[in-house]
């Protein structure tokens, strides 16, 4: 397995409640975008905000799938045998950069914008990844609370669909979407964006707690 993932794939709007809160149509097929290795960060890591080019910083707690076997045009029935395990991720975002153009790239893949961890839990210890409580806290205040069972496209559907278009390799990781509760989904008058000094903790049942701070 690579020391760094060859591919970091993410799904947009994969929880109905999240799509609804930001007034986006529920997708009829998985909506993929990507981050790069420069965005990887760790538990107890620090995200140094590019405050000279953006200020609308937001959190997105997500279940992350780590591939263990090559998946090339696999069926949904075959897909789960390709999973090595799961961890927590946060699809950290600069919303003003994300929506500056039609492409999400700049708002998603700044340095350190993909913290993952603290553990990689093997698939045999998570027999059903679609029944896990997922939460996000900012400075101890709960902002997101959902369940992975609310995903529109589940793990085998995501892997199978992606593998029809590109080969997934061992070590590749997939962020599977976030539930409702992000700052961008709030009414404008209630949008208080993240800032230096904030501490963000993402929690997923059976996977632990992923914490990082902003500077």
Q: Note whether 115 and 199 are within 8 A (CB).
A: no
Rg over alpha carbons for the chain, rounded to the nearest Å, is: 16
**CA–CA distance, 67 with 170 (Å, rounded to integer):** 5
pLDDT digits (tens, 9 = 90+) for 124-165: 999 999 999 999 999 999 999 999 999 999 999 999 999 999
Residue 170, pLDDT score: 97
Confidence category of residue 104, pLDDT binned at 50, 70, 90: confident
pLDDT digits (tens, 9 = 90+) for 169-209: 999 999 999 999 999 999 999 999 999 999 999 999 999 99
Range with the lowest mean pLDDT among 3-12, 32-41, 86-95, 128-137?
3-12
The residues spanned by each domain of the chain are 8-214
Confidence category of residue 1, pLDDT binned at 50, 70, 90: very low
Confidence category of residue 23, pLDDT binned at 50, 70, 90: confident
Whether the per-residue pLDDT at 2 is higher than 60: the answer is no
CA dist 192 → 102, 104, 145 (Å)? 24, 21, 18
Q: What is the mean pLDDT of residues 8-15?
A: 96
Superfamily of domain 8-214: Fumarylacetoacetase-like, C-terminal domain (3.90.850.10)
Q: Rounded to 5 degrees, what angle do the CA atoms 66, 80, 137 make? A: 45
**CA–CA distance, 183 with 57 (Å, rounded to integer):** 9
Q: Which of 173, 171, 191, 172 is nearest to 181 (CA)?
A: 191
Q: Where are the alpha helices (DSSP H) in 11-124?
A: 16-21, 76-79, 95-98, 105-108
């Amino acid at each position: 397995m690579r020391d760094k993932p060859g591919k970091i794939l993410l799904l947009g709007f994969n929880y109905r409640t999240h799509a609804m809160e930001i007034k986006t149509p529920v997708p009829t097929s998985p909506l993929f975008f990507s981050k790069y290795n420069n965005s990887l960060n760790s538990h107890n890591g620090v995200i140094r905000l590019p405050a000279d080019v953006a200020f609308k910083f937001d959190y997105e707690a997500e279940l992350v799938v780590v591939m263990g076997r090559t998946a090339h045009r696999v069926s949904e029935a075959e897909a789960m045998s390709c999973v090595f395990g799961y961890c927590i991720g946060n699809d950290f975002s600069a919303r003003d950069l994300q929506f500056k153009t039609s492409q999400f790239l700049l708002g998603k893949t700044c340095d350190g914008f993909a913290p993952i961890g603290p553990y990689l839990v093997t698939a045999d210890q998570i027999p059903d990844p679609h029944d896990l409580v997922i939460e996000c806290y900012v400075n101890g205040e709960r902002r997101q609370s959902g369940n992975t069972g609310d995903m529109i496209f589940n793990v085998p559907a995501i892997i199978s669909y992606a593998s029809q278009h590109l080969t997934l390799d061992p070590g590749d990781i997939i962020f599977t979407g976030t539930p409702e509760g992000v700052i961008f989904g709030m009414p404008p008058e209630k949008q208080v964006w993240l800032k230096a000094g904030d501490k963000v903790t993402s929690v997923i049942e059976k996977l632990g707690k992923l914490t990082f701070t902003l500077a």
